[in-house]
Chains A and B, each alone.
Chain A
Amino acid sequence: MAKSLADLRPTFVIGAGWHPFQNPSDTHYSVLGLTAIRGALGDAGIPWSEVEQTFVGTALLGMASGRPMLKHLGALGQPVVHIENASASGSAAFHLACAQVAGGLSDVVLVLGVDKRPAGGGAARAPAYQASIADHAIAPVTHFALLADEYLHANGVSPEDVARIAVKNHGNGALNPNAQRQKARSLEEVLNSRFIAGSLTALQCCPVGEGAAAVIVASEDAIRRLGVAGDKPVRIAAGAAASERFDGSDREITTEVIKRALFQSSIEAAQIDIFETHDAFAIEEAFYAEAAGLCPAGHYTKLLQEGAFDIGGKCAVSPSGGLLAMGHPIGPTGVGQIGEITLQLRGQAGPRQHQGAQVGVASMVGLGAVGYAHVLVRP
């Protein structure tokens, strides 16, 4: 019978680093990536020569982006593999890296998420075999605006209620030096920003950007051998992955992977202290937080208004600023979530610290659709 991550040998995140997520620029992706990697290695206190394999999560860079960048750390011949899973590219890379270490094939691996938009272009998707009647008119923002309309109607939720999700996340982003958007916003500013589709305004949509995030995944053997400082390791308790079923959606995928990951780790939803998710559009945070079991269906915005999901509330949701404020450069996004949860569980998140955090869940979906969930716990 197949095993889960939780059945295999213990695995830990021992280092995290970023190049800040930023507006599109002339910065070469190698600069983005190397900055994040050196940050993660420095955080872990280990040299590049100890990394046995690298998993690169990237959706936009094109073929063979990894080695031309990694060689500048020292071209030592370690294997490198690139993973593309749309928005979940970084999460997929992390998932596979965990399996690599937990399964005993490596003791120390690097997970890097790095992306920037190609010159003059956007994110290209593989062409559909058969288009439908309005594909040309349904951009992702319109897709989620339609879902938001259905949710608002079904649950008696107002557009202002959803906009408060963006207010919270912009406020968290203002505390995060790695965030693309570091400006707190009032409810009026969010509501009065440019309308995009339905009730979704520009400040309720993630920005287009670039950046990098890196984490080091290691075994207990490696932690002992390398003398990693005691305050660094955060345990990867569980991981789960899925793709969309014929009658499902992003919400069903999220429900499934989080349920499986919590079951693997013997943790209840009520124990989650930190939740990072795919809030590319503000309404999504409500969808996935409810799918995670943080509150009953339809209740997210009501509890949000009571402060339940603030830093310092019952469960800090998107303490990094989420995709809305931290940004969504695509490849780095899921890796950045792991890095944020690592800082939180170590007690090293500075002004964003959610006191006493013991359990963090990183939830991600990607076009396809695919979904991932990882549970991290304070050792």
Chain B
Amino acid sequence: MDLVVERSNEPPGLTGGICRQCGFVFFPYQSLGCERCGAFGQDLTLRTLAASGRVRSGVIVQMGTAQIDAPYGAIEIELDDGPVVRGLSEGPQIVPIGAAVVGQLDQDSDAEAHLRLWFKRAEAN
């Protein structure tokens, strides 16, 4: 299942879920069990969340990992739809706390050609 979905004329969607028993909204989608109440299987349904929200924190990372070269920007976002996620920011640059951000999709540069999600300031659109 793809974590990110392209949508025309809207921010990308994030494949999240909602628990029918307790209403907990979560990302990414899974049907193993609700972290709040334990309901599972068909009690957990898909919900597409908007890749937009407000920045809670943001840093420039100077030490890469096996999968990504530094420097890059990492931010924590409270999505408009509720869940808190970490993502990559346009840049690397610092995105101020409280700034509204929206997801963008690029074709990743690697050979597998999958979509890369990163966040930019909403005001820049």
Q: Show the binding face of A for B, using Cβ within 8 Å.
A: 129-134, 136-139, 141-143, 145-150, 153, 194-199, 246-247
Contact = CB atoms under 8 A, between A and B. Distances in A.
A88 B87 CA distance: 28
A356 to B, nearest CB: 40
A246 B34 CA distance: 9
Nearest to A151: B57
A243 to B, nearest CB: 12
Interface in B52-109: 56-63, 65-68, 72, 74-76, 85-88, 97
B27 interface: yes
Contacts of A134: 74, 85-88
Interface of B: 3-4, 14, 24, 27-30, 32, 35-36, 56-63, 65-68, 72, 74-76, 85-88, 97, 117
Given A153-B57, A198-B60, A133 B97 contact: no
Contact of B76 (A139, A150, A195, A247): A150
13 contacts: A130-B28, A133-B14, A133-B87, A133-B117, A134-B86, A137-B86, A146-B58, A146-B59, A146-B76, A146-B86, A147-B57, A150-B56, A197-B61
Contacts of B88: 134, 137
B28 A132 contact: yes
Nearest to B72: A137
Sorted nearest first, the 4 A-B pairs with minimum C-beta distance are A198-B59, A136-B67, A149-B57, A246-B35
A357 to B, nearest CB: 36
Residue in B29, B58, B59, B72 whose Cβ sees the most chain A Cβ within 10 Å: B59
Given A130-B30, A131-B28, A149-B57, A137 B63 contact: no
Given A149-B97, A153-B97, A197-B74, A132 B61 contact: no
Nearest to A138: B86
Given A134-B88, A137-B86, A142-B74, 16 more contacts: A129-B32, A130-B28, A133-B87, A136-B65, A137-B61, A137-B88, A138-B74, A142-B59, A145-B61, A145-B74, A146-B74, A150-B76, A153-B57, A196-B61, A196-B63, A197-B61
A139 B72 CA distance: 13
B84 to A, nearest CB: 10
Contacts of A194: 62
A137 B74 contact: yes
A130 B28 CA distance: 7
A330 to B, nearest CB: 19
A141 B67 contact: no
Nearest to A136: B67
Contacts of B68: 136-137
Given A137-B61, A145-B61, A149-B59, A246 B30 contact: no
Contacts of A131: 3, 28
A129 B62 contact: no
A338 B56 CA distance: 36
Contacts of A138: 74, 86
A133 B27 CA distance: 10
A150 B36 CA distance: 25
A137 B70 CA distance: 9
A293 to B, nearest CB: 25
Contacts of B66: 136
B85 A197 contact: no
B87 A149 contact: no
Given A133-B85, A137-B72, A146-B76, A246 B36 contact: yes
